[in-house]
Amino acid sequence: MSTTTETEIPLRQRVAENPQPALIWAAVGAVLVGVELGAILQVVGAVAGVVVNLLPGDPGASAVQSLQAAFDAIPTLVSRDVIPNQGYWNGTSYQNTFLGLSPAVAWAIRVVFVYAYAFAVLAWAWNGYNRFRRHYRRVDWTPRDDVVNRFRNHSWGKFGLIIVITFVVMAVFAPALGPTTMERNILQPYDYEVSYWSEDTQSVETVLVGEANIGSGSQGAGDENVAPLTYDDFGRFHPFGTATNGKDLFTQVVFGARISLTIAVVAMGIAGLIGLGLAMITAYYKGLADLATVLVSDSIQALPVIMVLILMLVIFQNTWVRELYDGAVLIILIFSIVYWPFIWRSIRGPALQVSEEDWIDAAKSFGQTPTQVMRKHMAPYVFSYMLIYASLSLGGIIISVAGLSYLGLGITAPTPEWGRLIANGQQYVASPSWHISLLPGLLITLVVTGLNAFGDGIRDAIDPQADTGDEAAATGGGA
Amino acid sequence: MSTEQARSARTEGEPLLSVENLRTSFYTDKEVIRAVDGISFDIFRGETVGIVGESGSGKSVTARSIMRLVEKPGRIENGRIMYDGEDLLDKSAKQMRSIRGGSIAMVFQDPLTSLNPVYTVGNQIKEALRLHRGLSGSAATKEAIELLEAVGIPDAHRRVREYPHQFSGGMRQRAVIAMALACDPELLICDEPTTALDVTIQAQILELLEELQEERDLGIMFITHDMGVIAEIADRVNVMYAGEIVESAPVVELFESPKHPYTQGLLNSIPGQGLDEDEQLATIEGDVPTPNEDPTYCRFAPRCPKAFTECDTIHPEPVEVGDGTGRHRASCLLYPDDLPTEEAVAVHREGGQRGGDTR
């Protein structure tokens, strides 16, 4: 291949010239997507449903509904239907479980499958990046390579990454991970029945889930306790035991992961966007814009975060905003407003620094527009700082949300939340039902530690010179 | 027709850029610093105008004022910058953006920092091409390669996708020049483009600029503090001191018969002029003063070996000091030297009363 053609050919053509690595990668990708196609389409259907709902007159609502039904029918690899665990013992064997295995084993297999699939997808993506780097990238080195390499040598960061991935997979695959479903066990327990083997009558009997829950709560006493990794009286397996009201703790934990992650990521995303945008504007224009932002952000920062949160949540009690996603939307909004000054402040310095670089002047001198200068020549430098700060602050938000829920102010029932679970089991910490508080508490600790470790790793990878053990950020706004 | 004649023919016509009585001040808490104070000069097509002076004499601020890139707390307070018959100071921000790069381009002092290290050189040239000529994709890449070839970068096909750090200093300055030329400007402002380079590379860059000027009929405004470089490249030279142009002359004339004591001092302080063993190289004592008040005196007077009493009370105006064609002017109370000193001083005193702000 001559150097002349090498420079000018676009990526598509470079792939066409050496299609094998790309094809193999695409084929593996197709398999990975194919086995989960149903789930992806279900998400699309759900989104379409929401969109239709928002449109005036609900155009094509029936079409969307039939589409959703069709999508639901597509079998997916990692789903409850393929590896069912909600069966019962009929005296001789397990019915309706995966390969006739016990519910516990069937559930464990499904969890392993979910994580295996998730890590396979990640490995595939990583492999794709490596293939691109080896076979198709125009240049043999970019600054990003160094960042990636530094992160790969950062064990603490990698530990964090694994925790974070585990947590994210937990949130994403929550419906498939729980031994039972939200709908069945938590939201509408009196609409479903459960079959079980009754020792008394030596036969299979059925009971409403709600009634079964009442009979299997963990309330401290020896016979009123369903410990982790045990079955309750109705033959249902509880990996984390049950809560005080008999609902499955693990199901609540995985869905709690969902809401914690959603709040933390969305709030940090919004705060980050506001912070980054303002940092660009203040660094580019300086002067009055800067002064005004300093004033506003100082005012916001002067308020104690947890006080503002409690105050706002109380003020908005019983309003429609409070109802959205059981309070999550309101919490996200409050966090975005409270957190952007922290982000803006931490990146203002780097933004000002980069705005003084000669290449900014050079870009101006060939007539580049202010927005493009900010976006192309300033934002990339500041973005990594923001990423570091945001990843270090995520843990703080998760702790804050849990703290609010613990106080009964954050996420309201029925959406499960880790902080509420802790509050729920607080009385029983010193009893056989210790698991209700302890397990969610341990998870919070682990996840926040993981996020901080991951943030440390990113920081060291992006900016090896920065050696500020920013502990304040780690606990920022923590309850 | 020799090039010399061609140049003089050109200078007869309409100037490409005409700076009139420009004043740019910086408002600090303590004082108002007139970094550029009432300077005027013209640049013609195909001509290189040198601006020379010590650090802090306002050379770079002049360049930035022309580009309208003076940053706060700086402000252009007075004067006109006529380009193509229109005053650049009246342009909107948007019009100014299309002029920057499109008609007037700038090359910065330090090629190490004037390229963004995270984009390839080609990418940055293409950015300018996309902006002013609407080129993108492979057309832009092709044009970028041609530009790199035009500035003498070998193997441009490969280098277009390399990062600035993979270029040597001289190569980088060539790339910066290629970027400046991307949109076919008529005027190139070079702000000490060779200062950060070593001498052999300097010579190459100067040669390159001369070639490009021949090819494209560029007007070049060349800022430097290096008299040697000025002698090499400039057709006309403006000597700046404390925000003012103290002498303006064709390059040969300036070097052969410098009139202003400051210019004389500058030329005397160039090393290697065949001094005897025990003779010391002449220097100009002191520093450039900060021009923070109205010019009611000669700003060079405190350092001037020829200063006399009136120098402290009368501001010198530019007067003709050459062969009568008006091409050699100096601002010094010693001139015009065919008049006795009192009369010469009177000329300056009257001249100072005429000028007023236009803005």
pLDDT digits (tens, 9 = 90+) for B76-114: 988 999 998 889 999 898 889 888 888 899 988 888 888
Please report whether residue A65 resides in a domain. Answer: no
Q: Is the pLDDT of residue A311 over 80?
A: yes
A44-58, A282-296, A402-416, A453-467 — most confident range: A282-296
Put the strands of the sheet holding B74-83 in their side by side order. Answer: B32-43, B17-27, B74-83, B86-87
Q: Which of A64-78, A317-331, B83-97, B112-126 has the lowest mean pLDDT?
A: A64-78
* Tens digit of each residue's pLDDT (9 = 90 or more) over A41-58: 888 888 888 888 777 777
Q: Tell whether B60 lies on the interface with A, counting CB pairs under 8 A.
A: no
Structure tokens at B320: 């003709």
The C-alpha atoms of residue A461 and residue A150 are separated, in whole angstroms, by 5
Residues of chain B with pLDDT under 70: 1-12, 274-276, 352-359
Percent of chain A residues past pLDDT 90, beyond the cut: 36
Tell me the β-bridge partners of A417.
none
CB contact under 8 A, A365 and B141: no
Same domain, A282 and A243: no
The C-alpha atoms of residue A146 and residue A270 are separated, in whole angstroms, by 29
Are the beta carbons of B213 and B150 closer than 8 angstroms?
A: no
Average pLDDT over residues A118-129: 93
Q: What is the DSSP string of B251-319?
A: HHHHHHS--SHHHHHHHHTSS-S---TTPPPP---S-PPP--S---S-TTGGG-TT--GGGGT-PPPPE
Same domain, A310 and A414: yes
CB contact under 8 A, B114 and A358: yes
Are the beta carbons of A208 and A266 closer than 8 angstroms?
A: no
The C-alpha atoms of residue A161 and residue A447 are separated, in whole angstroms, by 10
Same domain, A326 and A406: yes
The C-alpha atoms of residue B231 and residue B200 are separated, in whole angstroms, by 16
* pLDDT, position B238: 94
Last residue of a domain, one of A220, A247, A274: A247
Same domain, A207 and A325: no
Gyration radius (Cα) of chain A, Å: 26
Average pLDDT over residues A58-86: 80
Q: Tell whether B143 lies on the interface with A, counting CB pairs under 8 A.
A: no
Structure tokens at A446: 């682990």
> Minimal Cα distance from B139: which residue of A?
A8
Burial B299-313 (b: 16+ CB within 10 A, else e): bbbebbeebeebbee
Burial A73-95 (b: 16+ CB within 10 A, else e): eeebbbbbeebbbbbbbeeeebe
Give me the amino acid identity at B328: H
Same domain, A260 and A393: yes
Average pLDDT over residues A121-136: 91
Q: Which residues 6+ apart lie within 8 Å of B240 measured at CB?
A: B39, B51, B52, B53, B57, B58, B59, B62, B246
Nearest by CB to B100, which of A7, A8, A367? A367
Q: The pTM is what? A: 0.81
> Minimal Cα distance from A369: which residue of B?
B97
Q: In which domain, by residue range, is A295 found? A: 255-474
Same domain, A426 and A448: yes
Burial B31-42 (b: 16+ CB within 10 A, else e): eebbbbbbbbbb
Please report whether residue A6 resides in a domain. Answer: no
Answer positive or negative: Cα dihedral of B52, B54, B56, B60.
Answer: positive
* pLDDT, position A471: 44
Are the beta carbons of A326 and A415 closer than 8 angstroms?
A: yes
Please report whether residue A431 resides in a domain. Answer: yes
> Which one-letter DSSP state was computed for residue A224?
S
* B219: helix, strand or coil: strand
The C-alpha atoms of residue A149 and residue A155 are separated, in whole angstroms, by 12
CB contact under 8 A, B137 and A10: yes
Same domain, A311 and A294: yes
The C-alpha atoms of residue B115 and residue A141 are separated, in whole angstroms, by 18
Q: Are strands A230-231 and A203-208 parallel, antiparallel or unpaired?
A: unpaired
Last residue of a domain, one of A198, A231, A247: A247
* pLDDT, position A474: 42
The C-alpha atoms of residue A267 and residue A335 are separated, in whole angstroms, by 6
The C-alpha atoms of residue B329 and residue B316 are separated, in whole angstroms, by 12
Structure tokens at B106: 């700038």
* pLDDT, position B275: 66
Nearest by CB to A7, which of B116, B141, B182? B141
Same domain, A428 and A284: yes
Are the beta carbons of A415 and A328 closer than 8 angstroms?
A: yes
Average pLDDT over residues A264-273: 94
Q: Tell whether A11 lies on the interface with B, counting CB pairs under 8 A.
A: no
Put the strands of the sheet holding B329-330 in their side by side order. Answer: B104-107, B187-191, B219-224, B48-52, B236-241, B244-250, B329-330, B319-320
CB contact under 8 A, B182 and A366: yes
Nearest by CB to B138, which of A8, A365, A380? A8
Res. A332 pLDDT band, cuts 50 70 90: very high
Please report whether residue A305 resides in a domain. Answer: yes
The C-alpha atoms of residue B39 and residue B37 are separated, in whole angstroms, by 6
Nearest chain B Cα distance for residue A4, angstroms: 6
Structure tokens at B89: 């100071």
Q: Tell whether B114 lies on the interface with A, counting CB pairs under 8 A.
A: yes
Q: Is the pLDDT of residue A466 over 50?
A: yes
CB contact under 8 A, A364 and B69: yes
* B190: helix, strand or coil: strand
> Minimal Cα distance from B163: which residue of A?
A142
Burial A221-238 (b: 16+ CB within 10 A, else e): eeebbbebeebbebbbbb
Same domain, A425 and A357: yes
Nearest chain B Cα distance for residue A282, angstroms: 13
The C-alpha atoms of residue B151 and residue B205 are separated, in whole angstroms, by 9
Most B CBs within 10 Å, among A4, A6, A7, to test the B interface: A7
* Tens digit of each residue's pLDDT (9 = 90 or more) over A355-373: 988 889 888 888 888 999 9
Q: Are strands B48-52 and B236-241 parallel, antiparallel or unpaired?
A: parallel
Dihedral-angle region of residue B41 (phi above 0 means left; psi in -120 to 50 means alpha; beta otherwise): beta
Structure tokens at B334: 């010693």
H/E stretch holding B73: none
Q: Is the pLDDT of residue A3 over 70?
A: no
Same domain, A324 and A445: yes
* pLDDT, position A7: 47
The C-alpha atoms of residue A177 and residue A80 are separated, in whole angstroms, by 8
Please report whether residue A230 resides in a domain. Answer: yes
Nearest chain A Cα distance for residue B101, angstroms: 4
Q: Which residues 6+ apart lie within 8 Å of A216 measured at CB?
A: A226, A232, A233, A234, A236, A238, A242, A246
Chain A 125-154, residues with CB within 8 Å of chain B CB atoms: 138-139, 141-143
* Tens digit of each residue's pLDDT (9 = 90 or more) over A194-221: 888 888 888 888 888 888 888 888 887 7
CB contact under 8 A, B157 and A139: no
Please report whether residue A140 resides in a domain. Answer: no
Please give the interface size between A and B, counted as residue pairs whose CB atoms are below 8 Å apart.
94
Last residue of a domain, one of A247, A279, A300: A247
Are the beta carbons of B229 and B202 closer than 8 angstroms?
A: yes
The C-alpha atoms of residue A288 and residue A308 are separated, in whole angstroms, by 28
Nearest by CB to B161, which of A7, A286, A357? A7
Most B CBs within 10 Å, among A365, A377, A462, to test the B interface: A365
Q: Which residues 6+ apart lie within 8 Å of B300 measured at CB?
A: B241, B242, B246, B260, B261, B262, B307
Are the beta carbons of A22 and A135 closer than 8 angstroms?
A: yes
Tell me the β-bridge partners of A20.
none
Please report whether residue A71 resides in a domain. Answer: no
From the list A411, A444, A416, the residue with the least C-alpha distance to A185 is: A416
Nearest chain A Cα distance for residue B194, angstroms: 16
Give the CATH number for residue A274: 1.10.3720.10
Average pLDDT over residues A393-416: 88
Q: Is the pLDDT of residue A294 over 90?
A: yes
Looking at every residue in chain A, the average pLDDT score rounds to: 86
Q: Tell me, rounded to whole angstroms, the distance of Cα A203 from its chain centroid.
A: 43
Please report whether residue A135 resides in a domain. Answer: no
Which residues in A lie closer than 8 A to residue B115 (C-beta atoms)? 359, 362
Q: Tell whether B108 lies on the interface with A, counting CB pairs under 8 A.
A: yes
CB contact under 8 A, A365 and B69: yes
Would you call A134 exposed, middle or buried from its count of C-beta atoms within 10 A (0-12, 13-18, 19+)?
exposed
H/E stretch holding A231: strand A230-231
Question: How many domains does chain A divide into?
Answer: 2
Nearest by CB to B113, which of A143, A359, A368? A359
Same domain, A223 and A355: no
Q: Which residues 6+ apart lie within 8 Å of B114 measured at CB?
A: A358, A359, A361, A362, B107, B108, B176
Q: What is the DSSP string of A115-172?
A: HHHHHHHHHHHHHHHHHIIIII-SSS--HHHHHHHHHHT-HHHHHHHHHHHHHHHHHH
Q: Which residues 6+ apart lie within 8 Å of A177 measured at CB?
A: A110, A111, A114, A170, A250, A254
Q: Are strands B17-27 and B74-83 parallel, antiparallel or unpaired?
A: antiparallel
> Which one-letter DSSP state was computed for residue A99?
G
Same domain, A364 and A234: no
* pLDDT, position B109: 82
Are the beta carbons of A336 and A271 closer than 8 angstroms?
A: yes
